[in-house]
Chains A and B, each alone.
Chain A
Amino acid sequence: MSRFRSKFDGYKLLLALAAPALALIAAFLLSSLVIAATGKDPLHAFAVMIDFGSKSDSQVWIINKAIPYYLSAAAVAIGFRMNLFNIGVDGQYRVAAFFAAVVGGALSLPGILQIPVIIIVAMAVGAIWAGIAGVLKTTRGVSEVITTIMLNSIAGSLIGYFLSEDRLAVKDGNLFHTPNIPAAGHFFTIPTDPKPIYGTVLIAVVIGLAYWFVLGRTRFGFDLRAVGRSESAASASGVSVKRMVVTSMLLSGAVAGLVGMPTLLNESYNYGTDFPAGVGFTGIAIALLGRNHPIGMALAALLWGFLERTGIQLEFEEYAQEVVGVMQGVIVLSVVIAYEIVRRYGLRMQQRKVGEELSARARTDANDDTAEVSA
């Protein structure tokens, strides 16, 4: 029995490696086909990407770009782990960043107070915005998919309403933005050559560790995953599903509130009409790609940054601008499909093994029986 298990673990490891390998090969082949279909040389494209993407300033750019992506993916993944589809990370982080910017621009405290205040406001606003969907789901039974999507739209209108000169914004050329956060409220940067890495990368690391610990190592995390697997089983074992829904929406929203922080505290220092939107949707793709795993999502976020960085260079080298978008889509699809194929294959293998083992045992039992009879 023990020999059988170790052999089986070997299979498991092989299967675990097979999925990403299969996905990578499929994504590579499909992307090559797409590039070739546009009449360009795919191999040269990959050479350009690797060469340009490994330059030092590219690395810094990629890391900085990956920070909000990672936070966004973590926010989405918290929901995913309990079968909640928080499509509203986009709205949550924008509302959060906006009000955090308003508060940050209005206060001038020493940095040691100012930065935590801004971050706490962002997390609170993000949590409240997501909490609306959580409460609606538990009290009225409204699907969180619908409410979070609608809340995205409402978030856009809300910000648009306040982001005008006679309300909470100042005019700067053709842009409206909230008053600048004073220098004391700027987050530190890690000096690297030629451009610095944003200090907010630490926030991403902390969230990654917290995500791993809370979901994987605590009772709460276990309950959350249990609800994700089976609501009825979880409630039968004494977990309040309603409370879990609201709590995880609040948590997801609080993390979503952090998504805007790298931009706000390390880059723009205000929320303007040019504040990046859509990071919440990128987070969904990255959570899928990283399989909701804290390290997987980090790799996925970096991969996304890499693709975006090198995509501009591809456009510069006369490749179609859309190539990178296609690649991103192909990669996500490949990963999702590859894991599903490998999972089904693994399941079938497992069933066969168990079947073989059972029949073998039945045979030996039968032999024993006949032996007994003859004796």
Chain B
Amino acid sequence: MRRVTKLAAAVTATAALAVTATACGESSTESGGKKNKGVGLAFDVGGRDDHSFNEAAAAGTDKAEKKLGVKTKEMTAGNNETEATREQRLTSLAKAGYNPVIGVGFNYGKSINKIAKDFPDTTFGVVDSGSAAKNVSGMTFAEHEASYLVGVAAAKKTKSKKVSFIGGVDNALIQKFEAGYVKGVKDTDPKIKVETDYLYKESDKGFNDPARAKDMAKGMLSRGNDVIYSAAGQSGAGSIEEVSKVKGSWAIGVDSDQYRQKGLEKYRDAILTSAVKNVDVAVYELIKSVKDGKPLTGNQTFSLKEQGVSVSTSGGFIDDIQSDLDKVSKDITAGKIKVPSKP
């Protein structure tokens, strides 16, 4: 029994100590400058140099640094993060006086809208998620429309009549890419077989596991697929590398113009085109609006119509089918072609 009492005493003492300390201690949010320090940018997993999604956002802040003379503070998410961690990251940026604070990726959807209420004077932005607070700008994109276009390009370029799709994570966002792509291929040539697969069912590792994408691409190539579209953030680099090893096969990039990415220079001759998401434009516009004193807020959608998404032409590999793509593109913006956002 003696040990029980001792244990109980120790536990009570610790608990009491913790609570007192909590009650009296200074909160970290109390100390913090008010002066605007520039842009606070929180990346999704994969980080700034993912050659894809995050890098597109980074291009926006780079442009703002050059043109508007603002400074940027960057932080990056890790795998398997909890809401608490994301909230803390955003809080530390807002607290230090960064404005706007931008979260890259729908993972920040909840936390940005929550933290924004604690910092009413700061403008927040979130890429790929909606706005649910007054001072939040929710920037969403019509990924399925750009994916439809690269689907058309894939259908026109395949010789084996087999093309495939690799998604990073099987979630609602990446399903948009799949849906648009498959429809684009099938509308162009219904006889073409489309193989679709996802790297992970539900883990965000899908966006920074190039090795797994490489293996999956290898399998797809061995089954005769000759065009592979990867919507998987940093993982995409793995499948692009694998595709570049097989002559006559094409990789389709995503989010950034991946032909122009320095880190992918070695494989660029295998990159047919990229379904570009102009995150850079959206991010830049938000920063500019804050700088001008008229911060953008609310939901903003970027579709083919306002060139929020596009198809890259770098490398000139799709020059021969450009007129076809232009026509399809016109039909989409005119509403003649309905692109599904769910597979």
Contact = CB atoms under 8 A, between A and B. Distances in A.
A274 interface: yes
Interface in B245-289: none
A7 interface: no
A156 B18 contact: no
Nearest to B79: A278
A173 interface: yes
Contacts of A63: 18
A61 B22 contact: no
Contacts of B21: 54, 56, 59
Interface string A81-100: 00000000000000000000
B81 to A, nearest CB: 7
Interface stretch (B26-34, B60-68, B227-235, B324-332): B26-34
A313 B85 CA distance: 11
Interface string A157-177: 101110100000001011110
Given A156-B201, A160-B170, A321-B78, A274 B110 contact: yes
Contacts of B11: 205
Nearest to B171: A273
B96 interface: yes
Contacts of B171: 174-176, 273
A365 interface: no
B88 A312 contact: yes
A171 B172 contact: yes
B26 A55 contact: yes
B307 interface: no
Contact of B76 (A59, A194, A308, A321): A321
Contacts of A276: 80-83
A227 B173 CA distance: 50
A235 interface: no
B300 interface: no
B162 interface: no
A56 B85 contact: no
A192 B22 contact: yes
Nearest to A63: B18
Contacts of A356: none
Interface in A3-54: 52, 54
Given A156-B202, A175-B109, A312-B85, A277 B80 contact: yes
A175 B172 contact: yes
Given A59-B25, A268-B83, A273 B75 contact: no
Contact of B92 (A64, A156, A279, A312): A312
A100 B89 CA distance: 29
Nearest to B111: A274
A161 B202 CA distance: 10
B28 A55 contact: yes
Given A267-B83, A315-B75, A316-B75, A56 B18 contact: no
B92 A316 contact: yes
A263 interface: yes
Contact of A173 (B18, B29, B106, B203): B106
A338 to B, nearest CB: 23
Interface string B38-77: 0000000000000000000000000000000000010110
Which of B10, B29, B130, B202 counts the most chain A CB atoms within 10 A? B202
14 contacts: A58-B28, A156-B201, A174-B109, A174-B171, A174-B172, A192-B23, A268-B83, A274-B107, A277-B203, A308-B85, A312-B92, A316-B93, A316-B96, A321-B78
Given A175-B109, A295-B7, 15 more contacts: A56-B25, A56-B28, A57-B29, A58-B28, A59-B22, A159-B202, A173-B109, A175-B110, A176-B171, A197-B22, A276-B80, A276-B82, A277-B202, A316-B73, A316-B96
The 4 closest A-B pairs by CB, nearest first: A160-B201, A278-B80, A56-B25, A55-B28
Interface of A: 52, 54-61, 63-65, 156-157, 159-161, 163, 171, 173-176, 192-194, 197, 205, 212, 263, 267-268, 273-274, 276-279, 295, 308-309, 312-313, 315-316, 321, 325
Interface of B: 7, 10-11, 18-19, 21-29, 73, 75-76, 78-85, 88-89, 92-93, 96, 106-107, 109-110, 128-130, 169-173, 200-203
